[in-house]
Structure 1
Amino acid sequence: MSDYKKGSLSLGNTVAMGTGVMIGAGIFALLGQIAELSGQYFALSFIVGGVISGFSAYSYIKMADAYPSAGGIAMFLKKAYGKGTITAFAAFFCMAST
């Protein structure tokens, strides 16, 4: 049985949350480091990053389709590892990294 309440997380809310995380972590925090490390392959690193993000987004879409919930990554970790210390720490570190 799912704890999901229909309409608790709208499409607009989901897009805003995802956009905020991607812009905050991906652009402002890491752009200079990526430019320094990749050197002349800076543009290629953006293309590779886009492909990897696409696979990540696809996996989230499939998980959300299979297990509809407003719990996000914490709920997915609970499905994968059950309730426990590993799930708690992984969910905390995912939350802390955003």
Structure 2
Amino acid sequence: MSIDEKTAARVAKLARIKVEDDQLHALAQEFSNILGFIEQLNEVDVEGIEPMTSVTPQKLYRRVDEVTDGDQQEKVLKNAPDAREGFFAVPKVVE
């Protein structure tokens, strides 16, 4: 896939990256090279390959998702500079 300078300029704008006009050709070429590499990865046969979480074999241990240390609202709110009605109170920042 080939990226033109107009598309490269749009991507740079969306990414909020300032790119000078004389550098757009090189950026477009770099984007094209990246997309070419991705297209090569799509050609790899991964049939029967299990997804990995790491390059070293590891087993992920799962635990039951349950609350074991809750009901400490008073302790937590003691650290707040301003707490009202069981919540942190913060100053209004939007008019």
TM-score, with length taken from structure 1: 0.34
Q: Which is helix-richer, 1 or 2?
A: 1
Point out the structure with max Rg over C-alpha.
2
Kindly indicate which of the two structures has a greater share of residues assigned to strand: 2
Normalising by structure 2, we get a TM-score of 0.34
